[in-house]
Chains A and B, each alone.
Chain A
Amino acid sequence: MQRIGVFVCWCGSNIAGTVDVQAVSEALKNEPGVVYSTNYQYMCSQAGQDMIKNAVKEHNLTGIVVCSCSPRMHEATFRKTAAAAGLNPYMVEIANIREQCSWVHKEMPIGTEKAIILGKAAIAKVNLNTPLIPGESPVTKRALVIGGGIAGIQTALDIADAGFPVDIVEKQPTIGGKMAQLDKTFPTLDCAACILTPKMVDVAQNDKIRIFSYSEVAEVGGFVGNFDVKIKRRARYVKEDVCTGCGACVEKCPMKKVPNEFNLGMDNRTAIYIPFAQAVPKVATIDPNHCNMLKNGKCGLCAKVCAAGAIDYKQQDEIIEEKYGAIVVATGFNPISMDKFDEYAYNQSKDVITSLEFERLTNAAGPTAGKLLRPSDHKHPHTIVFVQCVGSRCAACAEKGKEYCSKICCMYTAKHAMLTRDKYPDTEVYVFYIDVRTPGKNFDEFYRRAVEEYGVHYIKGMVGKVVPEGDKLKVQASDLLDNKQLHIDADLVVLAAAIEPDKSARPLATMLTASMDTNDFFTEAHPKLRPVESPTAGVFLSGTCQGPKDIPETVSQAGAAASKVIGLLAKDKLTGNPCVANSDELMCNGCSSCQRVCPYGAISYIDKEFRMPDRTTKIRRVASVNPAVCQGCGACTVACPSGAMDLKGFANEQIMAEVDAICK
């Protein structure tokens, strides 16, 4: 039998105003198991907590019921109080007589009566509480970062800096991601490569960091602290540890007409290639779809010219298995396809381009060596129209665009407009906008400079259609402030395409059992208070996989994710939530119903030997819950017909006792 202490809080007049606290503590005195009952002005105050601690000692209490505000408010507080008094923290139950009683009922007798019943229910439950001890599991002190863009790079560097080994898995042949393709970065206009490439080099040189480039995550098992991950290293037909990145093979490769994805297809590369000069790892990769040697066994030039002997046409995909304590998702974004936007003639004219293509066109390492030339005729464009919100804030058609704001377009468009006017003052630049959104340090000033100092024409309105006519692009647009329809003959139209999560994110989320929103962005554990954690324990979010963000934001989130990972890896053991499911092996018949409803894959089956009553033994398949993975939802408990599966802290008996107490 428990020895229960009941503590009724007045919460000033918040509770005492509508509930006769004295009557409540008196009434609860006589409940089974209760040996002490009192009330006090503020139970959560230091004095109140001391009162509880003293009562525990004086009356040898084994359980505590606090009738106070919502457990969502102070359950943790009173659990700590109990622990300080030497009780198991899970021997505390809260009767919510504020939010769900005194605040919603006006009359004292009614409030008091209900408070007593709620108190009785809590007492009935505590009577059946058992001390719970959180399970412990060891932590593999190694982190996995999926995605090698700026988010992944920053996270990996920060984790490695704290002394933990990190692996980066990047599906491209090099890390760097989207930022490597950018020219300048807003609002300070530093060159992207100048600030990114040193970080890439840091990654390459950090002995705590391993890069699996040209690789993908194939399988994820295990749970927080103990993930088992299979990484598929795709065959790049070049021995990574032998290749010096000299580029002789690239020079000699006869297959020179392969669209260069790094420049978004605006120029060509060879079949064996290094994506860009500062690639990390700086290793050549053979594109099997275009290499003659791999396709029909004729050529082999690269192998001949490779002094290091790094070429290996027989290389196979390889699966690497590794254990990790934490996983960071940094899968990034892509601009959406423009195929559905016929009105902008993207597929009809080479001179209608996306902003990312514009970045390459202005980049010194790009297809035009940094000169702004039209893709169609390589002439200098004199009139450029930028269209904002192409596919962003588009609620009309899910296939066409995205309902959300892509967040970065306003700023990069201002940057593009400004830089164009700076380098080519003879160019007329029009920006059509719905709203200009520039929250951020020095952002609005930046945009205003584009207008005021650089003379960019910002027009409130939208482009309705673009029609290629001769070497011009006929742009028809509205100017809402002048209430006019504009017709502009442009040389180049730049579309600020909405961004969307990378296509690899969805299958990855399934592997990780991490949740996603309808737009395929990863969901954070709490939108405000836990923004870099996924609801799945041990999985963290970095960068645009969680939602659109710019570079400074991505980097700060990457750092935040790293600090969460470091916090996790710094622990030798993980203590879990002790309110987890538990299977009574004697009753379990191994039917697998529970396993099917478990959202976390926390239930597995083992063959266990039982001694039967007639002294024989029998081997039976029974469910076994991994307490480190179980989050305690209880779905399994109802799926289980025999009642073998129960939930600690919310056991069948406990809930029934509450029902009984309420229904007296």
Chain B
Amino acid sequence: MRKCSINAIDSVFAKIAESLALYLPVDGSDGKATYKKWENGVKWSNALNTVKSPKEFFFPQTEDMMEFKTSGKNIEIIDTREETEDFVIFGVRACDVRSFDILDRVFLTMPVDSYYASKREHSIIVSVACTKPSETCFCKAFGIDPAVPKGDVTVWKTETEIFFESNTAKGADLLSKIADLTEECDNAPVEEQKEKINKIMAKLPLADLKTEAFGGGKTEQYFDHPAWAELSESCLGCGTCTFVCPTCQCYDIKDFNTGNGVIRFRCWDSCMYSEFTRMAHGNNRLSQKERFR
């Protein structure tokens, strides 16, 4: 485990940014945090989390897939993919780190989504432990430990210091880059923080949330539960939940005619939309209740 003073963090960022693109949560004018590329003067946000999850680094909201150009009556297909440079996502929370596992299960199992895979390969994830979870947090229910987030490097932030620990070779490599700015240390303050977080977690309103009711053969049992009707009653079908969700991974593939050719791109889709999975015969989710469920 290595550490540095909290005041030194900007120079750590500067060091990383020398060789890698570095992204981290930054406060916006509206008080909400978003991931932004680090450059001199950009400050790491204290916010608990960003509005949009970092899944966007691997699975952007819109992503060009290929391009067609026509000349006369011939069509040329252009691969618009570019080699991704290595990049660091700094300050990812435990829950978001876990979401990558879920996305990986979708995008990295056969057939592998090469667009996703390429970005995933080039990424170095630096997670950060939570110290002040919100009342809306329920990560424990999914077996996520907010005090020990996964990722290539895990970071703990105390009042005065920042602690680093690498979990992977990529992570070790990153830490070696900033070795000059950090020093080896013991993990006592980190352990102390972990304990504190666990106590807070127990106090959260959703601490007792259990997921046992779902999964396995129980889905059917709950499929026609009246709660769906009740819950979907006030749903407007806006889709915000799916767009901010770190694990929602539905997308739509569309063509855009630029006038000089056609760009085929994919963009996020949401199961909350009435158009979602609409097929020639119509839609298999007929009302907001089905979509909500």
Contact = CB atoms under 8 A, between A and B. Distances in A.
A and B touching (Cβ–Cβ under 8 A): yes
A660 B262 CA distance: 13
Contact of A614 (B73, B259, B286): B286
Nearest to A614: B286
B283 A660 contact: no
Contacts of B257: 660
Given A30-B72, A30-B73, A613 B259 contact: no
B71 to A, nearest CB: 8
Contact of B287 (A614, A660, A664): A614
Nearest to B290: A614
Given A30-B72, A30-B73, A664 B286 contact: no
Contact of A664 (B71, B260, B282, B283): B260
Nearest to A612: B286
Contacts of A663: 259
B286 A613 contact: yes
B286 A660 contact: no
Interface string B71-90: 11100000000000000000
A32 to B, nearest CB: 8
Given A30-B72, A30-B73, A614-B287, A660 B259 contact: yes
Contact of B259 (A30, A615, A664): A664
A400 B73 CA distance: 72
A616 B42 CA distance: 56
B73 A613 contact: no
A338 to B, nearest CB: 68
A612 B287 CA distance: 10
Interface string A26-66: 00001010000000000000000000000000000000000
A663 B257 CA distance: 12
A30 B71 CA distance: 8
Nearest to B289: A614
Contact of B283 (A30, A32, A613): A613
A660 B257 CA distance: 9
A613 B70 CA distance: 39
A614 B291 CA distance: 13
Contacts of B282: 613
A612 B71 CA distance: 44
Q: Is the interface of B mostly helix, strand, loop or mixed?
A: loop
Interface in A612-664: 612-615, 660, 663-664
A660 B73 CA distance: 19
Interface string A597-621: 0000000000000001111000000
Contacts of B259: 660, 663-664
Nearest to B285: A613
A30 B73 CA distance: 6
Contacts of B72: 30
A614 B260 CA distance: 42
Interface in B197-248: none
Contacts of A614: 286-287
Nearest to A662: B259
A660 B71 CA distance: 17
A664 B260 CA distance: 6
Contacts of A30: 71-73
A32 B73 CA distance: 8
Contacts of B260: 664
Nearest to A657: B257
Nearest to B257: A660
A263 to B, nearest CB: 76
Nearest to A661: B259
B138 to A, nearest CB: 33
B18 to A, nearest CB: 43
Contacts of A32: 70
Interface in B37-80: 70-73
Nearest to B274: A613
Nearest to B70: A32
Nearest to B72: A30
A660 B286 CA distance: 35
B289 to A, nearest CB: 9
A661 to B, nearest CB: 8
Contacts of B283: 613
Nearest to A663: B259
A503 to B, nearest CB: 56
A611 to B, nearest CB: 11
A424 B211 CA distance: 118
Contacts of A612: 286
Interface in B271-293: 282-283, 286-287
Interface string B103-135: 000000000000000000000000000000000
Q: Quick one: which of A30, A32, A663 has the most chain B CB within 10 A?
A: A30
Contacts of B71: 30
A325 to B, nearest CB: 45
A663 B260 CA distance: 10
A613 B281 CA distance: 11
A2 to B, nearest CB: 14
A205 to B, nearest CB: 68
A336 to B, nearest CB: 61
B55 to A, nearest CB: 31
A663 B259 CA distance: 7
A660 B283 CA distance: 31
17 contacts: A30-B71, A30-B72, A30-B73, A32-B70, A612-B286, A613-B282, A613-B283, A613-B286, A613-B287, A614-B286, A614-B287, A615-B286, A660-B257, A660-B259, A663-B259, A664-B259, A664-B260
Given A613-B286, A615-B286, A663-B259, 12 more contacts: A30-B71, A30-B72, A30-B73, A32-B70, A613-B282, A613-B283, A613-B287, A614-B286, A614-B287, A660-B257, A664-B259, A664-B260
Q: Please give me the 7 A-B residue pairs with the lowest Cβ-Cβ distance, nearest first.
A: A614-B286, A664-B259, A30-B72, A613-B286, A614-B287, A660-B259, A613-B283
